[in-house]
Amino acid sequence: MKRAVILFILLNVLIVLIAPQSSSQNSSQDFSANKIWILFKDRPFLTGRNIHPASAVRFTDASLRRRAVRGEGAFDESDYPVDPAYVKSMREAGATVLVESRWLNGVSARCNHECRTKLAALPFVQEVRPVVVYRRKNEEITPVARLISAAAKRLNYGQSKDQLTQLQVPDVHKKGFTGQGEIVAIFDSGFRKDHEAFKKHTIIAERDFVFKDDNVTNGGSTDGHGTGTWSCVGGEVPGTLYGPAFQADFILAATEDIRSETEVEEDNWVEAFEWADQLGASVISSSLGYSDWYVPSDMNGTTAITSKVASKASKKGIVVVNSAGNSGPASSTLSAPADAKKILTVGAVDLTGQIANFSSRGPTADGRTKPEVVARGVDTFVAASYAKDGYGQSNGTSFSCPLTAGVATVLLSAHRDWKPGQIREALMMTASQAATPDNTYGWGIVNLFAALDYLPKKSVVIDEHKPLKNTTNNTTQYRASARIRAQRGINPNQLFLFWRLQGTSIFQQIALSAVADKPDYFEGFIPAQPAGVTVEYYLLAKDVKGKKTKLPVDAPAAPFSFNVK
């Protein structure tokens, strides 16, 4: 075993020494696997044509809604497919095209030396670079006995209680926010879908991007890591385990090549990322990194392919949560895409809040503080794949990452019109050391309860509203109240309740008035209605700059409603 390890290390050193360097000083130019990225300069098939991305690429309704509410503006060029003529030229030059990436405007392909020379000479080719291989350090799951407590208040978290309490999750669950209505995509090696922790879950889609099929259950030990991370996001077994977002829906992506145990090629990850975008993922939880090829100077958020893609997600309305890595305690030990901009990179702490020795540290090569936040990554309680009711404890930022992804999902379920940048800001600025962030803990341990009440930049929030219930009252008016706040200040003349009878087309408008002796609370009254009707209503508020929000967010298409019996 020792001889094999030494030979492996020597081989990697030799490869790095002989790899040609690019002008950007990127060290990852080894073409030994003949698998490369070809990135293009433009998309000429769009010139002079009015083509909407949704007509060229299938986006689900969930994706379109997410982009409309949480994205930054309209579709852009990165939402269009690569030019078909360019792809054809790749094949004519002898390349076997593997993945077509909209966001990168390029393809990955297998290509020999003669083919690469031809491609590099084409006038529309911007760059040819290798598809980089990552290796995630093995994070063993230690089996533990299943302990079930009969005592329960609201939710019985069992052995997952400590790791959730550290993040202030139970207090937010008591308010009714559990990730409902959100879609989480999990990227990992494989998943045991028949584990009891997931029996109530809705799986929107699953895809194995290594074997190019729709089965993410490999039936072996390689399913253990993905099973564990999934349970950290949203497992649900009363008395044993809960993840923060246990009522979310899920997309499962197998991106790691189980034949090499811990290997993942970045084109699988990019393909999975764009697929999850099309399907409407709200949050992407990715516990990968540990590059064999990029050097610390490449960790600037713009060099690595996966970092480029992850950084684009915020613009599309997706919150990306990625593990910091297990290469600490030295500084600048991040690996892509943990160095990406506008994402949540997560380090690991133990039960007492002390940083794990293995947790990777910042800063990035361009001087940004990393990680953003930390969560439990030492003896984290997880579902294990050795049995349908198996559980264990594991160490690694691979597990602090999905805990934080679950927290971000819960926060989205409470603030459904918040953009990814606002979710990121709320979690960072309410964490345990937000006043003094550093490259070990970042902004500190997540505090979901504080984040729930935080007002990010440009936010307008309507909360603390209890939807009106069905009633037999047909003689007195119906009171609707809510707390309304805005980071820049509310406009008191732009607070309204809209209501109508179901089946009619026009909403009636009622101005909301302040509730006496209750700061930030406002109320409005819907007139009494006869028995046998259904009343629909929603709330609207604007800040002093005209930014508005609605409750529910999808109103008027999907308002609150109640029956008068």
What is the fold, at CATH topology level, of the domain defined by 169-291+318-452? Rossmann fold (3.40.50)
SS3 at position 468: coil
Predicted pLDDT at 199: 96
| DSSP sequence for 161-180 | HHHHHTTTHHHHHTTT-SST
Find out whether 124 and 42 touch, Cβ atoms under 8 Å.
yes
Burial profile 371-391: b = 16 or more Cβ within 10 angstroms, e = fewer: bbbbbbbbbbbbbbbeeeebb
Q: Between 266-279 and 61-70, two packed helices, what is the crossing angle to 10 degrees?
A: 90
- Sequence-separated (6 or more) residues with CB below 8 Å from residue 381: 144, 159, 160, 162, 163, 241, 391, 392, 393
| DSSP sequence for 205-228 | EEEETTTTBS----SSTTHHHHHH
User: How many whole angstroms separate alpha carbon 301 and alpha carbon 284?
Assistant: 18
Q: The whole model's pTM is what? A: 0.90
Find out whether 366 and 333 touch, Cβ atoms under 8 Å.
no
Within the chain, all domains assigned CATH 2.60.40.10 are found at 460-564
- Strand ranges inside 121-202, DSSP E: 125-130, 133-135, 141-144, 183-188
Residue 118 CB burial class (10 angstroms; 0-12, 13-18, ≥19):
middle
User: How many whole angstroms separate alpha carbon 381 and alpha carbon 165?
Assistant: 13
403: left (phi over 0), alpha (psi -120 to 50) or beta: alpha
Stated as kind and residue range, the H or E segment containing 64 is: helix 61-70
Sign of CA dihedral 473, 476, 480, 481: negative
> SS3 string of 479-520?
EEEEEEEECCCEEEEEEEEEEEECCCCCCEEEECEECCCCCC
Of 318, 295, 310, 424, nearest to 372 by C-alpha is 424
Amino acid, single-letter form, for residue 138: N
Take residue 82 and report the two structure tokens written for it.
Answer: 């690569």
Identify the residue whose tokens are 């604007």: 542
Find out whether 506 and 556 touch, Cβ atoms under 8 Å.
no
Within the chain, all domains assigned CATH 3.40.50.200 are found at 169-291+318-452
CATH superfamily of the 460-564 domain: Immunoglobulins (2.60.40.10)
Find out whether 131 and 37 touch, Cβ atoms under 8 Å.
yes
Paired strand residues for 62 = none
Predicted pLDDT at 261: 42
Amino acid, single-letter form, for residue 269: W
User: How many whole angstroms separate alpha carbon 244 and alpha carbon 169?
Assistant: 6
User: How many whole angstroms separate alpha carbon 169 and alpha carbon 336?
Assistant: 29
Find out whether 258 and 189 touch, Cβ atoms under 8 Å.
yes
SS3 at position 434: coil
| 371 upstream amide cis, omega within 30 of 0 | yes
Q: pLDDT tens digits, the chain, 565 residues: what are they?
A: 333 333 333 333 332 333 333 333 343 344 435 789 999 999 988 776 667 766 667 899 999 999 999 998 778 889 989 999 999 999 999 999 999 999 999 999 999 999 999 999 999 999 999 888 765 555 666 776 555 443 334 689 999 999 999 999 999 999 999 999 999 999 998 899 999 999 999 999 999 998 899 999 976 655 889 999 999 999 999 999 999 999 999 999 998 765 544 456 889 999 999 999 999 999 999 988 756 667 888 999 999 999 999 999 999 999 999 999 999 999 999 989 999 999 999 999 999 999 999 999 999 999 999 999 999 999 999 999 999 999 999 999 999 999 999 999 999 999 999 999 999 999 999 999 999 999 999 999 999 999 999 999 999 999 999 999 999 999 999 999 999 999 999 999 999 999 999 999 999 999 999 999 999 999 999 999 999 999 999 999 999 999 999 999 999 999 999 999 9
